[in-house]
């Protein structure tokens, strides 16, 4: 492919950015992987796959302008848990504006499922405001991806220590179904967002791979782990002591919840949704 198809991937050494970068590389796109740590093992792994590594910081406009210049497309993602809600929004808007001013032709932004539904969850609502900025900037084309709850969250420090003690603990009701997605599937949707940039111009895609309750998730983790894992509902008051943000999100899961149309997405994009049971069997519990 010619230089017109160069794609800059932010967060390339993280989960979403890494998944997008690998899918693009596997399909012949020239990938420029942006990271704050160009000498890291994750950056080296991408370089071995054919990516060009550039140093960039979402808080440093000069580094962003340098990284973005000459790119046909970009994938933009920010991390609430690193930056905080306010700073993440600033990063998202800053990067979008710089991308537009430097001539990027196609902008793909990773938001969050249901960002457009006035959830009242701070780290959902801030992404909606970034989305609005992207729309208002007038890119020649853009696509927004809105993933649901990551399956990978369950192997993070938020959940894994309890699972190691055979307890899946969260602040939602046992009967509440929660839509989830495997990060590798986000990579596949990211690839489609670039391959079909004309067709998907202006689209916002809510995406998920499975929908299940926490007791159902615990059952599948039990099967994968070979030990019984039970679901324990954490009282919302206890969650709020730790994080009002988490408590608000759990309450929204119980009362509203994500609404990605999993069958319709499969029909339109032919991306087989990763089911939680299959994902769980591949993890090191």
* pTM over cut 0.75: yes
Q: Tell me what pLDDT residue 23 has.
A: 97
CA–chain centroid gap for 167, Å, is 26
pLDDT digits 0-9 by tens, 228-280: 999 999 999 999 999 999 999 999 999 999 999 999 999 999 999 999 999 99
Q: Tell me what pLDDT residue 82 has.
A: 85
pLDDT digits 0-9 by tens, 71-129: 999 999 998 878 789 999 999 999 999 999 999 999 999 999 999 999 999 999 999 99
Residue 86 CB: number of other CB atoms within 10 A?
10
Per-residue pLDDT at 3 exceeds 90:
no
Per-residue pLDDT at 169 exceeds 90:
yes
Per-residue pLDDT at 172 exceeds 50:
yes
Per-residue pLDDT at 1 exceeds 50:
no
Q: Which two tokens stand for residue 26?
A: 């596997």
CA distance 10 to 32: 9
Q: Check if the beta carbon of residue 152 is closer than 8 Å to that of residue 181.
A: no
Q: Tell me what pLDDT residue 2 has.
A: 47
Q: Tell me what pLDDT residue 47 has.
A: 96
Name the strands in the sheet holding 210-212, side by side, starting at the edge strand that comes first in the sequence: 149-150, 178-181, 210-212
pLDDT digits 0-9 by tens, 30-77: 999 999 989 999 999 999 999 999 999 999 999 999 999 999 999 999
CA distance 8 to 74: 5
Q: Which two tokens stand for residue 239?
A: 């969650």
Residue 270 CB: number of other CB atoms within 10 A?
9
Q: Name the CATH superfamily housing domain 3-149+182-208+259-273.
A: NAD(P)-binding Rossmann-like Domain (3.40.50.720)
Return phi, psi of residue 33, to 5°: -95, 115
Q: Which residues contact 125 (CB under 8 A, 6 or more apart)?
A: 115, 118, 119
Q: Tell me what pLDDT residue 79 has.
A: 87
Q: Tell me what pLDDT residue 58 has.
A: 94
Per-residue pLDDT at 4 exceeds 60:
no
pLDDT digits 0-9 by tens, 183-239: 999 999 999 999 999 999 999 999 999 999 999 999 999 999 999 999 999 999 999
CA distance 75 to 108: 5
3-state secondary structure of 27: coil
């Amino acid at each position: 492919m010619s230089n017109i198809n160069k794609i800059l991937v932010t967060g390339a050494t993280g989960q979403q950015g890494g998944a997008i970068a690998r899918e693009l590389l596997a399909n012949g796109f020239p990938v420029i992987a942006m990271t704050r740590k160009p000498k890291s093992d994750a950056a080296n792994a991408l370089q071995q796959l054919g990516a060009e590594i550039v140093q960039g910081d979402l808080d440093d406009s000069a580094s962003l302008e340098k990284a973005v210049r000459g790119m046909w497309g970009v994938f933009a993602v920010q991390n609430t848990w690193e930056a905080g809600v306010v700073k993440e929004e600033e990063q998202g808007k800053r990067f979008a504006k710089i991308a537009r001013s430097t001539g990027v032709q196609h902008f793909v932004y990773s938001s969050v499922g249901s960002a457009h539904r006035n959830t009242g969850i701070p780290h959902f609502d801030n992404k909606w405001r970034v989305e609005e900025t992207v729309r208002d900037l007038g890119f020649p084309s853009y696509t927004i991806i809105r993933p649901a709850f990551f399956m990978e969250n369950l192997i993070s420090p938020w959940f894994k220590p309890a699972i190691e003690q055979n307890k899946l603990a969260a602040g939602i009701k046992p009967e509440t179904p929660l839509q989830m997605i495997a990060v590798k599937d986000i990579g596949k949707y990211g690839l489609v967002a670039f391959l079909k940039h004309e067709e998907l111009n202006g689209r916002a895609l809510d995406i998920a791979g499975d929908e299940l309750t926490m007791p159902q998730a615990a059952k599948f983790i039990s099967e994968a782990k070979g030990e019984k894992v039970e679901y324990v509902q954490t009282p919302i008051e206890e969650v709020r002591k730790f994080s009002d943000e988490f408590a608000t999100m759990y309450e929204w899961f119980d009362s509203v919840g994500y609404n990605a149309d999993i069958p319709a997405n499969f029909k339109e994009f032919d991306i087989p949704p990763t089911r939680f049971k299959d994902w769980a069997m591949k993890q090191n519990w």
